[in-house]
């Protein structure tokens, strides 16, 4: 992993705020964005189906996909970094609102920033203003 990617991961709350692509067999079938902290370890995302196939779109928004093992066929890839989340999973009752699914483990892990990294992050924040 490049240092530039690590900085973006730290700046984006471990990739959460950058948005996610849900892939099925290498094809993007859904988007997860607009993260909102729901509980200590749970983050909800707005789910949007993509593509022209109405059957895939309907499945993406269904309880059957998100309950049980249906979600295991999906790969969650960071939209900005292209990195894959290792072990994400939905809540037992995944939908916390219309079109919002609650997930845990949907992040990219790269360890905490060291002192030098925190200094670099502060400088980047100042330069962005």
Count of domains for the chain: 1
- Report, as an integer, the average pLDDT of 120-125: 96
User: 97 in a domain, yes or no?
Assistant: yes
pLDDT at 66: 79
Instruction: Give 34-61 pLDDT, tens digit per residue.
Output: 999 988 889 999 988 887 777 767 777 7
User: 71 in a domain, yes or no?
Assistant: yes
pLDDT at 50: 82
pLDDT at 28: 87
User: 62 in a domain, yes or no?
Assistant: yes
User: 126 in a domain, yes or no?
Assistant: no
What strands lie across the sheet with 43-49, from one edge to the other? Answer: 75-78, 20-24, 27-37, 43-49, 100-104, 89-97
User: 44 in a domain, yes or no?
Assistant: yes
User: 29 in a domain, yes or no?
Assistant: yes
Backbone CA torsion sign across 10, 74, 102, 100: positive
User: 51 in a domain, yes or no?
Assistant: yes
pLDDT at 115: 96
Residue 94 sits in which domain range?
16-108
Instruction: Give 67-116 pLDDT, tens digit per residue.
Output: 777 788 889 999 988 999 999 999 888 888 888 999 999 999 999 999 99
């Amino acid at each position: 992993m490049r240092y530039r990617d690590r900085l973006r991961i730290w700046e984006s709350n471990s990739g959460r705020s950058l948005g996610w692509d849900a892939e099925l067999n290498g094809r993007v079938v859904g988007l997860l964005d607009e993260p909102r902290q729901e509980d200590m370890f749970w983050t909800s995302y707005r789910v949007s189906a993509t593509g022209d196939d109405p059957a895939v779109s309907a499945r993406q928004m269904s309880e059957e996909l998100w309950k049980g093992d249906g979600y295991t066929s999906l790969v969650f890839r960071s939209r900005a970094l292209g990195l894959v989340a290792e072990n994400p999973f939905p809540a037992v009752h995944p939908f916390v609102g219309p079109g919002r699914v609650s997930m845990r483990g949907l992040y990219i892990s790269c360890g905490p920033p060291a002192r030098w990294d925190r200094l670099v992050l502060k400088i980047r924040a100042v330069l962005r203003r």
